[in-house]
Structure 1
Amino acid sequence: MKRLDRYLLSQLMAIFGFFALVLVSVYWVNRAVLLFDKLIGDGQTAWVVLEFTALTLPKVISLVLPVAAFAAVLYAINRLSGESELVVMQSAGASPWRLARPVAVFGLIVAALMLALVHELVPASRARLAERQAQVSQDVTARFLTEGSFQTPTAGITVYIREISDLGELLDIFLYDARGQRAETIYTAEKALIVPSEAGPKLVMFDGTAQTLRPSDGSLALTRFSDFTYDLGGAIGTGLRGRIDWEEVPSRDLIAPGPELLAATGSTVAAAHLELNDRLAQPLMAPVAALIAAAAMMLGGFSRLGLWRQIGLAVLALIGLQSLSNVATSMTRADPALWALHYMPALAGLAGVALALSWAGRRRKAPPLTAAEDRA
C-alpha cells in the first residue's frame, strides 16, 4: 500500500472510531432509557437493566457502523479540502478514482467488522436476550404480586396477598378468576408458592377453598383442598418463550435448516434463506456508503466556504439509498422468492458512485491546447 493510501486510511480510521463511539453511545443510551423505565417499573434490579442493555449493543453497533463510515469519509475529505491537502493531491495527478481507492479499502474493513457482527455476535446476543426475557417474565412476584393490595395483572384476574414472607411464601392469598363466561371462581388459601416450570410459572396453594359460581343456573360449588396447582403462566401470559426468531439463529444454521429448527421457528426454508441473504447484504452498505460520500465530495472544487453543497448531495444520496433498501426489504418480506432484491441497493449505490467518479474525473481533465498555444 502506497504512502498516500496509508495516510488517507489512517485519517479515515481515526475519525471513524470517534463517530462510531458517539453514534453508538447516543443510540445505546436511548435504548437503555427505555429498558430502564420498563424493567425498573417491573421491579427488576439495576444489574438486569445493565445486562439487557449490553445484550442490545451488538445490534446497535451493526446499525450504526455504515452511518459512522459515511460520516467519517465526509468529515475527512472536507477537512483535507479545507487544509488544501486535497488540492495538492489532485494537482499532483491523483484522479478521483485514485483517491477513492483508500476509501474502498476503509469500507471493506468496516464491512469485515459488520460480517462478524451480523453472522455471529448479533444472533448470539439476540438469543441470549430472548432467553433472559423469558426468565424475567416468569418472575411474577417482582412484576405484580404486592402484599396488602388488590392487583389485576390481566383482564378477569384479581389477586390479593396479605403478606409475602422472607422465604417467598404468599400468606393468606385471594385469587378471583372471571375469565370464563360460564363460571367464576374464587380461590382462597392460607399459603401459596410460585413454582417455575417449562410451561410457565405455577401457583401452588395449600389449605384453601375454591368457590365456583355458574351464572347460568345460579349454582355455587364449594371445594376444599389441601393443595391445588393453578396455571399462573397461562392465566396472565407469562409462560416461557415459544417459537424462536430467525434473528436468533447463527448464519451457519440458515444454510440448510433442519426439521427441528423449522419447527422451533414455525417457518420455512425460504424464510431462512431470506434471512441469510439479508445478513449477507447488510455489510455491503458500509463500503457503498463510504464510496458515496467520497464520490459526492469529489464533484466540487476548492472553496474557502467548504464543500457544504457536496455534503448535502451525499446526505440526500444516502437517504435515497436507505429508502431503496426499505422498499427492497418490504418486497422480500412479502415474497421470499425475491431474495435477490436485498442486493439491489448496494448495486445501485455502486453504479451511482461509478458515474459520479467518472464525471468528476472528466471535469478535472485539462482542456486541449489551441493551435496558437501549441505553436507558442
Structure 2
Amino acid sequence: MLIVFRYLTREILLTMSAVAGVLLLVIMGSRFIRYFTDAAQGELPLSALGSLMLFHMPSFMELVLPLAFFIAILLAYGQLYLNSEITVLVACGMSPNRLLQVTLLPALLIAAVVGACSLWLTPYGALHNERLIEQQKSQLDFSLLTPGRFQDFGSGRTAYTQSLNDDHSRMEDVFISEQGKGSDGGQQVVTRAESGYQTVDPKTGSRFLVLSNGTRYSVDPGSPVAERLAFGSYAVRLSTDGETDIGDDTELMSTAKLIDQGDDESMAQLQWRLSMPLMVPILTLLALPLSRVNPRQGRFAKLLPALFLHVSYLSLLLAAQDAIARGSLPAGVGMWPIHGVYLLLGLILLRRDQRQGGR
C-alpha cells in the first residue's frame, strides 16, 4: 500500500508542479510587465523589481496552488483511468474510500503551504512591497527623474527638472508642486528654483532637497491671495528614513491584527485568508469523481466543467468577501455556507461515482 501511495502522490505532485509552473509564469509575467512599465516611466527604480517580485510570490502561490492541485488530480487520475490502472487498483482491493484517504494526504500538505502563505507570508510580502513603493514615491530620487517630464511621486507631490548634470547629482531648472500639510492645510505649494541637489541628515536620516535661487508660492484654491517667498537657499524635506504611510488597508494587516480589530472589513479579509487553505480539501472531493473518465471520452472531457466549478467557487467567495466588508452580509454567516455547499456537492458527486461503478 505504501508503494501505491507513493506512486499516486508522485503522479499528482508532478502534474501539479507542471501546471503551477505554467500558471505562475503567466501571472508573474503579467505582474513583471506592469512593474517594468512603471520603472520605464520613472516611477520605480529597476533595482527594486527583483525584491517586488520575490515578495509577491506568496500571493501568487496561494491562488495558484489550489487550482494547480485541482487540475493535477483531474489530469493525473484521468490518465490512470484511461490506462485502466485505477480499475486494477480497485480489483486488487483499493476501495474508493482508501483512494480518497491517499489523495487527501498530499491535499493536506498543500493546504498547509497555502495556509502559511495566506495567513502570514502574503500579508507580510504585501506590506513590504507597499512600503517599498511608497518609499520610492516619497523620495524624490534623482535616479527616477527623467529630464523634461512632470513626474508624480505620491503624497500629492509632482516634480520637474529641465536637465541633470553628467553624474546626476544636481538638477537644473527645478519645479516642485505639492499639497500643503500641517499648518498649510489644503494649500497648494509651488516651488521653482535654478538648481537643486539632495542631501541626507546623518543624525536623523531625513532626506532634503536643497534648492538655490528660487521662489516659493503658497496658494489656497479659490482664494485670490497667495504667499510668495524668494530665497537664495531653501531645503525641502523629502522623507525620513523608514517613514511610510500605508493607511488601514486590511490586505496589509497581519492576521493577528485582523482578529484584534474585529470590524467588518477585517473579518472579510480574515475569512478570505482562512478560505484559501480550506478550498484545497474541498476541491479534492470535487476532483476525485470528476476525474473518472472512460477511454472514449479522453482525460480532458470533464476539465472544462471542472474549471467552471472552480471559478464559480472562487467568484462566490470574492462576492461574499465584498458583501461582508460592506456590512450587507453578517460576518457570523460569512463565507462558511459557500464552503458547506461545495463540500456537500463534493460528497454527493463522490457517492454518485461509487454507485455508478467507482467501487
TM-score (norm 1): 0.76
**Shift of residue 67 of structure 1?**
0.7
What SS does structure 2 have at the residue aligned with 1:255?
Answer: helix
Separation in 1 of the partners of 2:223 and 2:290? Answer: 79
Separation in 1 of the partners of 2:216 and 2:210? Answer: 13
**Shift of residue 78 of structure 1?**
1.1
| Aligned-partner residue type, residue 286 of structure 1 | V
Separation in 2 of the partners of 1:32 and 1:162? Answer: 29
Match of 1:338 in 2: 331
Match of 1:193 in 2: 197
Separation in 2 of the partners of 1:143 and 1:347? Answer: 53
Separation in 2 of the partners of 1:304 and 1:184? Answer: 72
Which of residues 276, 284, 295 is equivalent to 1:290?
A: 284
Separation in 2 of the partners of 1:225 and 1:365? Answer: 85
**Shift of residue 133 of structure 1?**
0.4
CA deviation string 1:287-333 (max 9, x = no partner): 222221112224x4x32442444334423322332233233223222
| Aligned-partner residue type, residue 204 of structure 1 | V
| Aligned-partner residue type, residue 113 of structure 1 | V
Separation in 2 of the partners of 1:342 and 1:23? Answer: 26
Which of residues 245, 261, 266 is equivalent to 2:249?
A: 245
| Aligned-partner residue type, residue 280 of structure 1 | L
**Shift of residue 90 of structure 1?**
2.8
Q: What pairs up with 1:184-223 in 2 under 5 angstroms?
A: 187-194=191-198, 203-210=209-216, 223=229
Task: Please tell me whether the aligned partners of residues 264 and 326 of structure 2 are also in contact (alpha carbons under 8 angstroms).
Answer: no
Match of 1:25 in 2: 25
| Aligned-partner residue type, residue 349 of structure 2 | A
Match of 1:91 in 2: 91
**Match status 1:360 vs 2:353:** yes
Separation in 1 of the partners of 2:210 and 2:37? Answer: 31
Say which is worse superposed, 66-75 or 150-159, in terms of deviation.
150-159
Match of 1:273 in 2: 267
**Match status 1:324 vs 2:316:** yes
Separation in 2 of the partners of 1:62 and 1:120? Answer: 11
Task: Specify every segment of 5 or more residues in structure 1 that has no aligned partner in the other structure, as ranges.
Answer: 234-238, 258-267, 367-376
CA RMSD of aligned residues (A): 3.9
Which of residues 199, 223, 233 is equivalent to 1:227?
A: 233
Task: Please tell me whether the aligned partners of residues 97 and 357 of structure 1 are also in contact (alpha carbons under 8 angstroms).
Answer: no
**Match status 1:311 vs 2:312:** no
Over the matched positions of the two proteins, sequence identity in percent amounts to: 21
Separation in 1 of the partners of 2:306 and 2:347? Answer: 14
TM-score (norm 2): 0.79
Separation in 2 of the partners of 1:187 and 1:137? Answer: 18
Larger radius of gyration: 1
Say which is worse superposed, 151-160 or 269-278, in terms of deviation.
151-160
**Shift of residue 280 of structure 1?**
1.4
Separation in 2 of the partners of 1:48 and 1:178? Answer: 27
Task: Specify every segment of 5 or more residues in structure 2 that has no aligned partner in the other structure, as ranges.
Answer: none
What SS does structure 2 have at the residue aligned with 1:140?
Answer: coil
Match of 1:42 in 2: 42
Task: Please tell me whether the aligned partners of residues 285 and 346 of structure 2 are also in contact (alpha carbons under 8 angstroms).
Answer: yes
Q: What pairs up with 1:53-72 in 2 under 5 angstroms?
A: 53-72=53-72
**Shift of residue 59 of structure 1?**
0.5
CA deviation string 1:47-78 (max 9, x = no partner): 21222122211101111001100111011111
**Shift of residue 12 of structure 1?**
1.4
Task: Please tell me whether the aligned partners of residues 295 and 357 of structure 1 are also in contact (alpha carbons under 8 angstroms).
Answer: yes
Count of paired positions: 345
| Aligned-partner residue type, residue 275 of structure 1 | Q
| Aligned-partner residue type, residue 170 of structure 1 | M
Task: Please tell me whether the aligned partners of residues 138 and 238 of structure 2 are also in contact (alpha carbons under 8 angstroms).
Answer: no
Separation in 2 of the partners of 1:67 and 1:350? Answer: 16
Match of 2:104 in 1: 104
| Aligned-partner residue type, residue 340 of structure 1 | V
| Aligned-partner residue type, residue 321 of structure 1 | Y
Separation in 1 of the partners of 2:42 and 2:273? Answer: 34
Separation in 2 of the partners of 1:341 and 1:222? Answer: 56
| Aligned-partner residue type, residue 249 of structure 1 | M
